[in-house]
Each structure stands twice: as C-alpha cells, then as structure tokens.
A and B are shown apart, each in its own frame.
Chain A
C-alpha cells in the first residue's frame, strides 16, 4: 500500500520545552490510524501539524508525495473535524457544509446537492435549514463530520471527536464513524486519550508518551504484546510486579516474584535478570481446592472485591505484600457468592502464555 502521509523527523520545540521529538510516521492510504496518549503527550500537536495549523520546528510532512510542510491549511487536501466542532454559528447547517465547496468555486445548486448527500451519509437528512444552536451535541458532531467530508479530502483528521458526547452516544458513534470510514475508503487519523475508543475503531494505533512514539501497532499488538510497562498500563490494566529471572531454557523462562516462582513463554526475554512481570487481570483465575495439578500459581489473601456488573475485580495481597488484581466475568447463573471473599486464602493460576516481561526502566 502506498503511504499517503509521511512524517519525517518531526520535532516541535516551544522555547526550550520539547513538545515532539524526532517522530517518524508513515500512514497508509485508507487506513484508520489513531494517535493515543494522555494530555500533553504531543498527539494533538502532531495532528494539527498535518492539518497545517502548527509548524514543526524541524522535519518534513509529505502528503501523497508532495512536501506540504510550509503550506497553509487551505492549500492541503486534508480536512479536520474539530474537538469543539467549530460550526459557524451564523450559518445554517447547509451553509456550514457548503462553505468548503463555495471556497472551491462550486455553484450554489450543486453545493446544496452535495451538502444533502453528506447529511444523508451522517443520517441527518432533514436538518439542512436548521441553525447549529438548535441542535444537540450529537447532531452538531454529525454536521461537523459532514462538513469535513463533503470536500472529499484524501485524509480526514479527527481531534478527540467523541469526547464531548455522553457514554451511550459515544459507543454508538464509534461504530458509526468506523462504518463511514469503510464506506468512504479515505484515510482517517484520529486523536484520542480514550484507549477503548482507540482499540474499537482503529486499524493501527500509535501510543505516544511525552513527545515520543511509545508503540506503533494493531490494537491486538498493543493489548497482547505491549512494548513497555507504560503501554501495558495505558491500554487496559496490567499487574506489574518486580521479578528475578532464575532460569532460561527451551521450555520458557522462570521468574521469581516475592519468593514464588512462575513460568512464562513470553518471547521477548530481557537480557538482565531483574525484570518487571506483567499479567492482565482477566487472564488470571482462582483455583479451587481440587485443581491441585496446576503449578503456575501465586498464593495470597483477598483484601477487596469490587463489583463491576458484568465482572468482579478481586484484589489479592500476595505473600510479599504486593497487590494483584484478578478480573472474573460473571456470566449467567454464576453467583457472586461463589467468588472468594475478603480474608480468604487463595491460589491464583496464570497461564505461561499470558505472562509478559519488561526490562526494568523500559
């Protein structure tokens, strides 16, 4: 697949403060790419650079083969959907959508037809003559989307598109945006701080940490094989425990955690013996008395149970005083009563395939 956008050695400095440092990124045509990270990690700045609203201190931005680094926004074939939607308050919905077409010199009749088409696409066919202030947040968001895609850009930039919506609507819009992406076939680049949103919607996710790319991969890569403890904890929850490698052989690696030994099949074995061991809470389970055969276990005492509706998070204090979370789904018929209670002595089993290892300081 050809790259539609290439960022080459992009840095952004604010005086002596570094916003973005030597970012290299190539985006494929038609991809749904997400920049994910906490606020202040540089993800929005990167997006705004692609849109032309900010200039990189050094580096180049290539848009379908052309260097656009010094071009203003109006000369780039990308469109942005703004976080606050930025609908023009003095124009009707139709005028808002047709604005970009009018700037291109398209006649009124044709522009209105195209605006109607764009509104159809975002399922708002009969709102063309309303004013933005008469609409709900979700409707305004759809108008903003229609306005951005009506110019048929090569790349659509979405700056925290769903952050202003309430939870239910957000979930619905995640799916809808994904469908619109599939229908249009153009490249979407989205910025978000919501890891669920990133996992649900994207083909590829770039996790950013203080101006640097922490990991670049598919949602599955990030969740199953996080590159660093930072990624492991930013995407979902991970139990991170300090450990010592005691044996490396073809069966796997043995690590000792607070006096208890675990086997792991994780391929990326750190060079040093001091490591951080990571396990997802939902990939550990409690053993009842009969499962004596299991050998990959940790012993501890339950300190807290938190009810999440569909699941139950149990916090276990291991023998070495570290906390370990175990998530158990609560399917039909499975009573909460059957789960361990605070004060219970428990054994936690973890499959060797589900134990990650990180170098200390990574």
Chain B
C-alpha cells in the first residue's frame, strides 16, 4: 500500500499519452468486434430485408415493402407440409435421443463395467461420421430388414447421429455434479429413483435443455441423412434445396426469416432457464 504513495504522480504529458494509447486500443478492439459481428450477421440481415422486398429478383436497390411473400408462403401447401414434417422429425428425434441418451449417460456415469471406454467411444463415433455414411449404411440396413422409407426412418437416422450430442453433454454435467449430492440423498432415505427425480434431474436440467435444443436444431436442418432415408415426404431443408434449382425465391427468404425468429425465441427461452438455474447455485 505504501508503494502507490511513494510513486511520484506521472507528469501530465505522459499521462495524456497513456490515455491516448488506451483510447486507441479500445477503439481498435471495438472495430474488430464490429467486423466479426458484421461477418456473422450481415447475411441474415440481408435475408430478412429481401423477404420484405417488393421484387422477385434479389437486386439493389430495393423497390418497395411488401408482406406478400409471407402470404404466398402460407398458401403454399407443399412448403407448409415440409415445415410440418421438419417439426415432426426434429421433435420426435429429439425426444427419442433424450430417452435413449440420458439413461446411457447415467449408466456411463454410475456403473463400472468391462468395455466402458469402448462403449463411450462407440457412442461418440456417429457424430464424427459424415452424414452421407450414416445415411447410406442406414438405408442399406432398412432395405435389408424390409422397412419402408418414411419420416419415421428419418427420425431413427437422426436419433443415432444425435445420441452422441446428448450423451456427451449430459455425461459432462453428471461428471461435474459432486458425488456427495446423490450420496446425501440416499443417506436421507431416498431410493435410486427418488434420488434421480429430486436431486440429479434438477441439477442436470440445463444440460438437458441445451442438448435438447441443439439436437432439435441439428435435426431440423439436416440434409444428407434425410436425403437417403426419407420416402415421399420432404422436410423443409430438402424442399428448399429442391426449389433452389429454380433459383432463390423471396418466399424462401420469408421462410428463413421465420426460422431465424423461431431460433431467437428458443435461445431466449434457454437463456431464461439457464439464468434462473444459475441463481440456484454458486
């Protein structure tokens, strides 16, 4: 504490120079951050702008404001079905992955068994495999067992790939949870199921929400696996891909804008949950 008082005050000139250097560093930082943000979000902004542009071709200058693309969108049955299919596939595969992945993560965390490491690696493998490999191999398998391709086969295909996401996230959270919590719970008279419901589950909730949201999003815009495993039904990304051959229509921009909006809502929801959870811990 004496060190600061014995230091002579800096001469004014030098103090100004220090301030100026700091200002320069700060503004440099601001510029870099702005560039990164621009890089990330300009395309999305352009998408949103064009979705309201009163012209079929995507060229400047903008000719006028319209909501007609949104009206068209809502009267395009094929597109609406595709969106519906996508929601159906994404929701089901998310639920399926959670139902399989959470017990798998718990087993990995709780029990010691021979070949545990191999089991873990095998669970993680599908995420590293290119979707095209998963797609072809599952297609072969379904053909071999005589399954008809449908949205359900797509769900199974997505769930295998997404399992790795859920297991990794939930397992990582379980590892961070002190073992003494579940021990204290059983010490206080709770059976294994009660301990899971009252103690473990509330403490891994944010990991579940996070893994669920991520799975949903990944499944929602998945193309390669879907391409091989779907029957006649189309999901939204498949539909967009097929219309692309005729060029990007402003209708697609409108769909994109709606997806961005939905994502924002989902992100907001997950942030609210995580923040509320954080107040409950250190």
Contacts and interface: CB of A to CB of B under 8 A. Distances in A.
Main SS of the interface on chain B? helix
Contacts of B281: 89-90, 133
A86 interface: yes
Contacts of B217: none
Interface of A: 51-53, 72-74, 79-80, 82-84, 86-90, 99-100, 103-104, 131, 133, 147-148, 151
Interface of B: 178, 180-181, 183-191, 194, 198-199, 202-203, 277, 279-282
A145 to B, nearest CB: 13
Given A99-B198, A131-B280, A90 B186 contact: no
Given A51-B187, A74-B187, A86 B198 contact: no
Contacts of B198: 88, 99
A41 B189 CA distance: 29
Nearest to A88: B199
Given A100-B189, A103-B190, A82 B183 contact: yes
Nearest to B203: A90
A14 to B, nearest CB: 12
A89 B277 CA distance: 10
B201 to A, nearest CB: 10
Given A131-B280, A133-B280, A82 B190 contact: no
Nearest to A79: B187
Given A52-B186, A73-B187, 18 more contacts: A52-B187, A74-B191, A80-B183, A82-B184, A84-B180, A86-B178, A86-B181, A86-B184, A87-B184, A88-B184, A90-B203, A99-B188, A100-B188, A103-B194, A131-B280, A148-B187, A151-B188, A151-B189
Given A133-B280, A133-B282, A90 B185 contact: no
B144 to A, nearest CB: 45
B225 to A, nearest CB: 37
A74 B178 contact: no
Contacts of B190: 74, 99, 103
Contacts, number: 68
Contacts of A99: 185, 188, 190, 198
A95 to B, nearest CB: 10
B203 A89 contact: yes
A80 B203 CA distance: 21
Contacts of B194: 103
A84 B188 contact: no
A103 B189 CA distance: 6
Nearest 3 pairs of A and B residues by beta carbon = A100-B188, A103-B189, A86-B180
A87 B184 CA distance: 8
A73 B186 contact: yes
Nearest to B180: A86
B282 A89 contact: yes
Contacts of A88: 181, 184-185, 198-199
Contact of A147 (B180, B183, B188, B277): B188
Nearest to B282: A133
A16 B202 CA distance: 39
A100 B202 CA distance: 17
A103 to B, nearest CB: 4
B184 A104 contact: no
Nearest to B188: A100
A100 B185 CA distance: 8
Contacts of A104: 189
B183 A79 contact: no
A280 B109 CA distance: 50
A122 to B, nearest CB: 16
25 contacts: A51-B187, A52-B186, A52-B187, A73-B183, A73-B187, A74-B186, A74-B187, A74-B191, A79-B188, A83-B180, A86-B181, A87-B184, A88-B181, A88-B185, A88-B198, A89-B203, A90-B277, A90-B281, A99-B185, A99-B188, A99-B190, A131-B279, A133-B281, A147-B184, A147-B188
Contacts of A51: 183, 187
A273 B191 CA distance: 60
A84 B282 contact: no
